[in-house]
Chain A
Amino acid sequence: MTNMTMQLESPAAFRTMADLSNEMGDIPPERILLNPAPGTATEQDVLDLDDHHDRLCELIDGVLVEKIMSSRESILAVAIASLLHQFIAGKKLGFVLGEGGMLRLRPQLVLIPDVAFVARKSLPGGKFPDDAIAPIAPDLAIEVLSKGNTPAEMARKRKEYFAAGTRLVWEINPKGRSVKAYSAPDKFTLLTHNQSLDGAPVLRGLKINLRELFAELD
């Protein structure tokens, strides 16, 4: 009964698997969960999957999408988190989140950036929330690209980040040993070789040399 009602009333956001694939940026199909039914998943499902099944999934308007990160990408994520942490140590600037930090950017939208920084002044009362999924947007979001990430998927994430208040997004490309530093969803600077990532306007004074960063992989 319920299914019939749903079918007749719901605008049926995803009529076919092709629609869903398209909406999610044509990422590899093994990353898109069908249980719960796409469009009906909630934050609680994100938590349950992590707690009980050890799977990290982002939530995009009711669709659960598994996060992928290989060990190599993790090496870079840790290196960057470490540099961020060193920079803010003692300055009381805010908080650095590692892999697995779940952030609710808006209802039904939970992203898990590879590394994130949340400025103290962005937090109510300067305190980091207690929730399992923090209801805040990071000031700086860092994504280390994997083979299974598509341009359409990343474009959508950037849109969500910036719409929620993020001011800087870094997309690290381990293969190309380059970084795209975004100040808006489609506005970026490409950095490679011996150039440095600049933490401004979020972390003024922070500079990360790319040659040294990517050398962590060698």
Chain B
Amino acid sequence: MTNMTMLLESPTAFRTMADLSNEMGDIPPDRILLNPAPGTATEQDVLDLDDHQDRLCELFDGVLVEKTMGARESMLAAVIIRIIGSFVTPRRLGFVFAPDGMFRLRPRLILIPDVAFVARKSLAGGKFPDDAVAPIAPDLAVEVLSKSNTSDEMARKRREYFAAGTKLVWEFDLKARNVRVYTGAEKSVLLSRNQILEGSPVLRGLKINLRELFAELD
């Protein structure tokens, strides 16, 4: 009965696998979970998958998408965390997150950036919330691109980040050894390994030598 009702009333009656793939930015199909049914997944599912199945999935309006991160991407994330941490800690500027920090940007939208920074002044009372999924947008989100990330997928994430209040997004391309610095969903500057990555406007004064950064991977 429920199925019939859904079919006749739902505007997504003909949703096919191709539609869903397209909505998700045409990422590899093995990253899109079908259980729970796409469109019906919740924050609890994100938590359950992590707790019980050790899978990290982001949530896009009820669709669970598995996060992938290879060893080298993880390596770069670790280096960035260390560098940002060294800057942030003595100055008590805020909090740095590893590649499993969950952020609810809006209802049914949970992203898990590879590295994130939340400024103390962005927090109510300067305190970080207790929730498993933080109900806030990070001030800085860092994504280290993997082979399975598509440009449509990343564009969508950026739209969500900036709409939710993120001020800065860094997208690292390991292969090309560069980083694209976004101050808006489609507003970016490309920096190569010969340049300096600056933390402004979120972490003023932070300067990262990209050559040294990428050299740590060798």
Enumerate chain A interface residues (CB-CB to B < 8 A). 3-4, 6-7, 10, 12, 14-21, 28-38, 40-42, 44-45, 48-49, 52-53, 55, 66
Contacts of B7 in A (CB 8 A): 35-36, 45, 48-49
CB of B129 closer than 8 Å to a CB of A: no
B16-24, B113-121, B173-181, B198-206 - the one binding chain A: B16-24
Interface residues as binary, B1-37 with A (CB distance below 8 Å gives 1, 0 otherwise): 0011011101011111111110000001111111111
Q: CB within 8 A of A7: which of B10, B20, B30, B48?
A: B48
Contact check, B12 vs A20: say whether CB atoms are below 8 A apart: no
B35 adjacent to A12 (CB under 8 Å): yes
Give Cα A53 to B16, complex, Å.
Answer: 14
Binds A, one of B38-46, B89-97, B99-107, B154-162: B38-46
From the candidates A6, A18, A66, name the one contacting B35 in the complex (CB within 8 A). A6
Once A12-B35, A37-B34, A44-B4 are accepted as A-B contacts, the answer to whether A21 and B45 lie under 8 Å apart by CB is no
Interface range on chain B: under 10, 10 to 19, 20 to 34, or 35 or more?
20 to 34
* Given A10-B35, A18-B28, A34-B19, A3:B40 Cβ within 8 A: yes
Task: Contact check, A14 vs B37: say whether CB atoms are below 8 A apart.
Answer: no
Within 8 Å CB of A29, what residues of B? 16-18, 21, 29
Q: With A and B bound together, what is the CA distance between A53 and B4 in angstroms?
A: 13
Interface positions of B (Cβ within 8 A of A): 3-4, 6-8, 10, 12-21, 28-38, 40-42, 44-45, 48, 66
B34 touches A33 (CB 8 A): no
**With A3-B42, A17-B32, A55-B14 given, is the CB distance from A34 to B20 under 8 Å?**
yes
Bound CA span A3–B31, Å:
19
Kindly list chain B residues whose C-beta atoms are within 8 Å of the C-beta of A34.
Answer: 15-17, 19-20, 34, 37-38
A6-B36, A45-B7 known; 8 other A-B pairs, CB under 8 Å?
A16-B29, A17-B20, A19-B30, A20-B17, A21-B17, A32-B17, A34-B34, A35-B7
Contacts of A17 in B (CB 8 A): 17, 20-21, 29-30, 32-34
